[in-house]
Amino acid sequence: MYIAFYISSHGFGHMTRCLSLIENILNDSKYKVYIVCDKKQNEFARIYLSKFEDRIIYKDIVTDVGLVNKNNSLEVDIVALKQKLDEFILSLDNIVKSECDFLRAIDIKCVVNDISPIGCIVGNKLNLPNIFVSNFSWVEQYEHLGIDNRIISKFKKAYSYVDKFIRYDLCLPMSSIDADEIYEAGFVCRNIDETKVNDIQQRYGESIFITCGKSVSLNSISISNFRGTIFTTSGIDIVCSKDCNVVNLPIEVLDTQNYIAASDIVITKAGWGTIAECIISHSSLVLIERPTSYEDSVNILKAKERNLAISITENELLSIDIDDIKHKLEQCIDYKSLEKYKNDLETVSHYILGM
């Protein structure tokens, strides 16, 4: 019997948090998994879950649009986004029909949605249990950006088919999901390997981790008052003194969560997946403000209210004084509270398997 996962094609954060659940389910049960996402995310998943390849079916589909950024910026390009959304809505009926035809030949336990509307519609048409697991939906994000209600209504309709809603910590206020069953959960991420973390720390010494996501490209970031290792992901050019060792982690690196856990400071855009990895690993967290992203803004607000993070603007990101960042972190972060957070994988997996 299969559990179907319909995972957002927007960036890699949705895939990595789902991989943590999928890996846990495959380790702890005899279920098989059907994974639907875009090609580049599925390529990552195929490598990460290679030991389970005989229990997984992959389907490469653009499962949603998400957000579209302006070139070399974290700001949303609303004009380009609207065009992409129109194209996606036009393709939706054909995708759903194809998925329904395929799934009728498979024994499916339930459909898990994060946060693509496709699985919600497919689950409803096939009368399958429909689970939504997330901290936000595209409805709130698109309303924040003033996207046409004609498009938003399509997402609202899809999300109305959800039976069970598993709300991650930092969840946005959401009226778009009105499920019969609602469960509260904490943070989840791929398991952190303490041995690997120690090896990274021994090899690289003091380090900071800078990421804007694997699907974002920015102009150069200047770092001052730091002697150590700077880990970065694709799309970032670091300018620093010769005392710094810049290590670019390619997209194929499967365990960025271990590099995050090994780093003294993590500077990142405020996507939920990376925040979860930082909080679970008890890292000093600096979040990049992005006013056009409603999810990011709420994540930052809630994390700062709990003294789990500080924030900087995108302009401040371009030139970072690490001494200044360290001082702000010492003033603002409640490290005793931070150390209490644990990986909530077992709870979320239980909610899914208990459907």
Span 255-272, pLDDT tens digits: 999 999 999 999 999 999
Expressed as residue numbers, the domain containing 118 is 2-188+344-353
* Order of strands across the sheet that contains 56-60: 56-60, 32-37, 2-7, 108-114, 130-134, 164-167, 181-184
Question: Do 175 and 313 lie in a common domain?
Answer: no
Share of the chain above pLDDT 90, in %: 89
Region 296-305 average pLDDT: 97
CATH number for the domain that contains residue 238: 3.40.50.2000
35 vs 4: CA distance, rounded Å: 6
Question: Do 139 and 283 lie in a common domain?
Answer: no
pLDDT at 355: 61
Question: Do 239 and 122 lie in a common domain?
Answer: no
For residue 149, the tally of other CB atoms under 10 A from its CB is 11
273 vs 276: CA distance, rounded Å: 5
Question: Do 279 and 181 lie in a common domain?
Answer: no
Question: Do 22 and 158 lie in a common domain?
Answer: yes
Question: Do 138 and 223 lie in a common domain?
Answer: no
Backbone angles phi, psi at 61, to 5 degrees: -140, 140
Beta bridge partners of residue 245, listed in sequence order: 229
Question: Do 230 and 258 lie in a common domain?
Answer: yes
Express each pLDDT in 28-51 by its tens digit. 999 999 999 999 999 999 999 999
Amino acid letter at 7? I
Work out the widest C-alpha separation in the chain, in whole angstroms.
61
The number of distinct structural domains making up the chain is 2
pLDDT at 68 > cutoff 80? yes
Q: Which helix (H) or strand (E) holds 113?
A: strand 108-114
Q: Residue 16 in contact with residue 275, Cβ under 8 Å?
A: no
Q: What is the DSSP string of 144-206?
A: HHT--HHHHHHHHHHHTT-SEEEEPTTPPP-SS---SEEEE--B--SPP-HHHHHHHHHHH-S
Express each pLDDT in 218-239 by its tens digit. 668 999 999 999 999 877 889 9
Region 156-171 average pLDDT: 98
Region 4-11 average pLDDT: 97
Question: Do 125 and 55 lie in a common domain?
Answer: yes
> In 3-state terms, what secondary structure has residue 220?
coil
Q: Which of 31, 28, 4 is nearest to 18 (CA)?
A: 4
Cβ neighbours for 143, distance < 8 A, ≥ 6 positions apart: 152, 294
Q: Which of 147-161, 237-251, 314-328, 334-348 has the lowest mean pLDDT?
A: 237-251
pLDDT at 188 > cutoff 90? yes
pTM over 0.85: yes
pLDDT at 194 > cutoff 50? yes
> In 3-state terms, what secondary structure has residue 308?
coil
Q: What is the mean pLDDT of the chain?
A: 95
Question: Do 164 and 246 lie in a common domain?
Answer: no
Question: Do 182 and 199 lie in a common domain?
Answer: no
Question: Do 93 and 225 lie in a common domain?
Answer: no
Beta bridge partners of residue 113, listed in sequence order: 6, 132
Region 54-76 average pLDDT: 94
Question: Do 34 and 61 lie in a common domain?
Answer: yes
Q: Residue 337 in contact with residue 308, Cβ under 8 Å?
A: yes
Task: Count CA atoms closer than 13 A to 159's CA, side-chain side.
Answer: 22
pLDDT at 215: 46
